[in-house]
Structure 1
């Protein structure tokens, strides 16, 4: 008899697989210098951790992510969301997606911003992520384990619980959130990228935040920019061509 993989197991492991497959695709595209937001030389000289260190750091965070997902799905295993084979309508799923996106954005904005405001937290926790001054795709989740737990894992659990989505819907939501996070850190500006068309919060927007001049701005992630605009931490930018090829996100002064 064929073994059926549960929605809970898929919701736990599919986003991890998506992370490495999608970031791997971006690393291949990184060979096209005309799409890069930073030169290869900048990536080599400005980033402190080695690529191997980044991979190990991401794997540690994903181990925490998997553990929390298993616990979460175990806790709600008797919930009415998993007690039926009926799936909600498209409109219900769409509403759950929007609610989950808003919850995740709100949580991450305020926790992320506080990690910059609190000098101790920044120095000992959040700086690890910012040691990648030139972001690249599979470094998206390169964080201190405590930051990964608070910012991403807890935020994801809250968005799942508050939105009321089923484990099956969670497979798609967390895979999409993973794609968006990788895209924001890919360090590339690809023409026609639909995520750049539909979301102002994109790779250039987040690249500004990773630079020294942008450390107090553009805290919003991963979907919208509303909290930055509402609370005065929004830094607009323009894309200009670099002399050595590629593009650069330059801040625009009011």
Structure 2
């Protein structure tokens, strides 16, 4: 039995979303286990108390974002006649799509980290560190970067995020 051929457009549209949900699932599973407690920025109790948005609302918002992304790519495919423009716009060949998805995981996990954007969710940091993933440069350009320190929590049960005073604006 022959496998049905999947277009480059479909691969380019679906793979990044599938990778996102797989990675989010692994992240959630690790967050529920005790294995990673020593690396947590907030205790589970703090997380439950401080989260203003329910996990259900977050999931629905991310699903909506992904549906809009798929709709935009479908419109692009219709406008261009499906001549590979969608695949090129979303990352190129199927191999490039997989490589881009792997690079997104590496960058999001290693260099950006939860701490940088976590400052934004603190009362003192609400006007700072808006950026996520590749765009931290914009916080520096627009003066919305707030430095921070990550220290071991007293008692050794995780880490604590401490915003530092924002740099003085230069005139």
Q: TM-score, normalised by structure 1?
A: 0.54
CA-based RMSD of the aligned residues comes to 3.0
Larger Rg: 2
Partner of 1:241: 152
The residue aligned with 1:160 is 89
Larger mean CA deviation between 239-248 and 53-62 belongs to 53-62
Partner of 1:26: 27
Partner of 1:40 in structure 2?
44
Q: Write out per-residue CA displacement over residues 93-116 of structure 1, whole angstroms, 9 at most, x where no aligned residue.
A: xxxxxxxxxxxxxxxxxxxxxxxx
Provide the secondary structure at the position in 1 that maps to 2:145. coil
Query: Equivalent residue of 1:59, what SS?
Result: helix
Q: How has the CA–CA distance of structure 1 residues 203 and 25 changed in structure 2, closer, same or farther, with 3 Å as cutoff?
A: same
1:69 and 2:73 aligned: yes
User: Which ranges of 4 or more aligned residues in structure 1 deviate by more than 6 Å?
Assistant: none
Partner Cα separation in structure 2 for residue 36 and residue 49 of structure 1 = 19
The alignment partner of 1:250 has SS state of: strand
Distance of aligned partners of 1:78 and 1:47 in 2 relative to their CA distance in 1, 3 Å threshold: closer
CA deviations over 1:118-169 (Å, ceiling 9, x no partner): xxxxxxxxxxxxxxxxxxxxxxxxxxxxxxxxxxxxxxx9x938xxx53546
Contact 2:12–2:92 under 8 Å retained in 1 = no
Q: Secondary structure at the match of 2:150?
A: strand
The alpha carbon displacement at 1:68 in A equals 1.1
Q: 1:13 corresponds to which residue?
A: 14
2:97 corresponds to = 171
User: Unaligned stretches of 5+ in structure 2?
Assistant: none
Report the number of matched residues. 160
The secondary structure found in structure 2 opposite 1:202 is helix
